[in-house]
Amino acid sequence: MPTSAGCDDAAEGVSRSAAVVGLPFDLSEIVDNLHRERYPGDGHAQKRGILSSRAVQRAYYAVRPWLGVPVRKHLQRAFLRNWERLRFPQWPVDTTVEELLERVLWLCMAARKIERVPFVWFWPERASGCAMVTHDVETKAGLELVPEIIEIDNAFGIKSSFQLIPNGAYTVSPQLLESIRARGCEVGIQDLSHDGNLFDDHDRFRRRAATINRLAREYGASGFRAGRLYRNTDWYGELDVAYDMSVPNVGHLEAQRGGCCTVFPYFVGEVLELPVTTSQDYSVFHILGDYSIDHWKRQIALIFEKHGLASFIVHPDYSMKGRALEAYKQLLGHLAELRSQRMVWTALPQDVNRWWRERSQMRVTRRNGVDEIAGPGRDAASVAYASMNGDRLSYVV
Ligand SMILES: [Zn+2]
CB within 8 Å of 127: residues ≥ 6 apart: 343, 344, 345
Residue 307 near residue 286, CB atoms below 8 Å: no
**Three-state DSSP class for 257?**
coil
pLDDT higher than threshold 50 for residue 6:
no
Between 257 and 49, name the one with better pLDDT. 257
Domains delineated in the chain: 1-42+86-116+129-347 (3.20.20.370), 43-85 (no CATH)
- pLDDT attached to residue 271: 98
- pLDDT attached to residue 44: 39
State in Å: Cα 169 to ligand 1 middle: 12
Per-residue pLDDT reduced to its tens digit, 175-227? 999 999 999 999 999 999 999 999 999 999 999 999 999 999 999 999 999 99
Per-residue pLDDT reduced to its tens digit, 269-298? 999 999 999 999 999 999 999 999 999 999
State in Å: Cα 194 to ligand 1 middle: 7
Residue 157 near residue 339, CB atoms below 8 Å: yes
Per-residue pLDDT reduced to its tens digit, 45-94? 433 444 455 665 666 666 666 656 666 666 666 666 677 777 789 999 99
pTM listed for this prediction: 0.88
First to last CA, the chain: 29
**Short-list 260, 209, 210, 268, CA closest to 234:** 268
State in Å: Cα 58 to ligand 1 middle: 15
- pLDDT attached to residue 153: 98
From CA 120, how far away is CA 131, in angstroms rounded?
Answer: 19
- Cis check: omega of the bond before 89, within 30 degrees of 0: yes
- pLDDT attached to residue 51: 47
Sign of CA dihedral 106, 109, 114, 119: negative
- pLDDT attached to residue 85: 75
Residue 272 near residue 357, CB atoms below 8 Å: yes
State in Å: Cα 57 to ligand 1 middle: 15
Residue type, 126: R
State in Å: Cα 314 to ligand 1 middle: 10
Q: Spell out the long-range contacts of 138-143 with Cβ–Cβ below 8 A and sequence spacing 24 or more.
A: 138/165, 138/168, 138/169, 138/194, 138/315, 138/317, 139/65, 139/169, 139/170, 139/317, 140/169, 140/170, 141/317, 142/315, 142/316, 142/317, 142/318, 143/170, 143/176, 143/316
Per-residue pLDDT reduced to its tens digit, 45-55? 433 444 455 66
- pLDDT attached to residue 3: 42
pLDDT higher than threshold 80 for residue 40:
no
State in Å: Cα 227 to ligand 1 middle: 4
- pLDDT attached to residue 68: 65
**What number is the average pLDDT over the span 294-310?**
98
**Short-list 320, 152, 133, 143, CA closest to 245:** 133
State in Å: Cα 164 to ligand 1 middle: 9
